[in-house]
Structure formats: structure tokens, C-alpha cells
Amino acid sequence: MLLIHCPYCEEERPEVEFAGAGEAHIDRPKDMNAMSDAEFEKFFFIRDNPKGVNYERWRHIHGCGRFFNAARDTVSDKFLTTYKSGEKKPEVATQKPVQGAKK
């Protein structure tokens, strides 16, 4: 079970308290009705699903109830950072494991 840092509760909490909510930083257009079919398709159906850093939405559904965003490495499954919804997308790099024991 992963630990996920909730930016609102300001601590790491067990994964079971959270629910994933899809890709982040997809804003609902102000004027939905002006969208072409192709634009709607891109907005609603098409997702990046990258190998590496993925920006995604999570909800601390069994905690403070807030939606927030996370950058997660889809290769290592690691949460690289989490931040409040509405905040700017942070630049993060995937982490490489360190050779040799730590001690």
C-alpha cells in the first residue's frame, strides 16, 4: 500500500484513503458549446497515458475530501509530488535509484 502526501492534511496517508480521478490539468472550457466535435473528443476522451511522469488528479475521499493533483512516475509507481488543485503544474523529473547500499 502506497503512502500519499495530502497537500491539505499536510501529511502522508495510506493509499486506501484516496481515490484516483484521472488526468490532471484538463480544464472544462468556458464555452462548451463552441467546441467542435474534434475538440470535444480531445477534451473528453483522449488522454496522454505517458510512460514516466504523469500528472493526475486524486481525491482524499476518506480523509479531508479534497481533490488535488499529483505527479507520479508510471514506471516506478512513485508519487514524485502532490499539490493543491488550482496550483501550477510543477516540473519534476523521474528519480533514478542509487547504486550501492545507503549505509
Partner 1 sequence: MSAQNRIKGHGQLSLAKTINFTFDGTTYQGLEGDTLASALLANGVHLAGRSFKYHRPRGILSAGPEEPNALVNIARDSTRSQPNIRATVQELYDGLTAESQNRWPSLAFDFSAINDGLAPFFPAGFYYKTFKWPPKAWDKLYEPIIRAAAGLGKSPAEADPDRYANRYAHCDVLIAGGGIAGLTAALAAAKAGKKIILCDENPNFGGAILYDNALEIDGLSATEWVEKAVAELAALENVRLLTRTTAFGYYAQNFVALAERVTEHMAEPDPALPRERLWQVRAKEVILATGAIERHLVFADNDRPGIMLASAAQKYLNQYGVAIGANVGVFTACDSAWAAAFDLKKAGVNIAAIVDLRDNPPLELQEKAQTCGIRILRGYTVTKTSGRLRVQSISVQPINGGTVEQIRVDALLNSAGWTPSVHLFSQSRGKLKWHQDRDLFLPDIYVQDCISIGACNGTFDENELIAEAQAAGNATRKKAKAIRIENQSSWAGNAIGAAPGAGPSDNVKAFVDFQNDVTAKDIRLAVREGMHSIEHVKRFTTTGMATDQGKLSNMHGLAIAAEQLGKNLPDVGLTTFRAPYTPVTFSTIANHARGPLFDPTRKTPMHQWAVDKGAVFEDVGPWKRAWYFPKAGEDMHAAVNRECVAVRKKAGIFDATTLGKIEITGPDAAEFLNRLYTNPWTKLGVGRCRYGIMCREDGFIYDDGVIGRITDDRFHVTTTTGGAPRVMNHMEDYLQTEFTDLDVHLTSTSEQWAVIAVQGPLAREIIEPLVEGIDLSHEAMPHMSVREGKICGVPTRLFRMSFTGEMGFEINVPADYGESVWQAVYAQGEPRGLTPYGTEAMHVLRAEKGYIIVGQDTDGTVTPHDAGLSWAIGKAKPDFVGKRGMRRPDLVAEGRRQLVGLRTKNPKVVLEEGAQIVATPGQTVPPAIPPAIPMKMIGFVTSSYWSEALGHSIALALVEDGHSLEGDTLYVPMEDRTIEVEVSGCVFYDLDGGRLNGKN
Partner 2 sequence: MAKIKMAKARPPHEGRRFANSAISIEQALPASRISLRAGSNELAELTKPLGFKLPSKPGTSKTKSGLSALWLGPDEWLLINNDPQAISKLMENLDAVKCSNVDISHRNTAIIISGKAAEDVLNSGCPRDLSLDAFPPGFCSRTLFGKIEIILWRLSENSFHIEVWRSYSEYLWTFLLDASKDAG
How far does the chain reach from its first CA to its final CA, in angstroms?
Answer: 26
Phi-psi region of 61 (alpha: psi -120 to 50; beta: other; left: phi over 0): alpha
**Pattern 17-56, binding to partner 1, x per CB under 8 A?**
--x-x-----xx--xxx-x-x--x---x------------
What is the smallest separation between the CB atom of 6 and partner 2, expressed in angstroms? Answer: 8
In the set 30, 37, 65, 100, which binds partner 2 (CB under 8 A)?
Answer: 65
Per CB under 8 A, 19 contacts partner 2: no
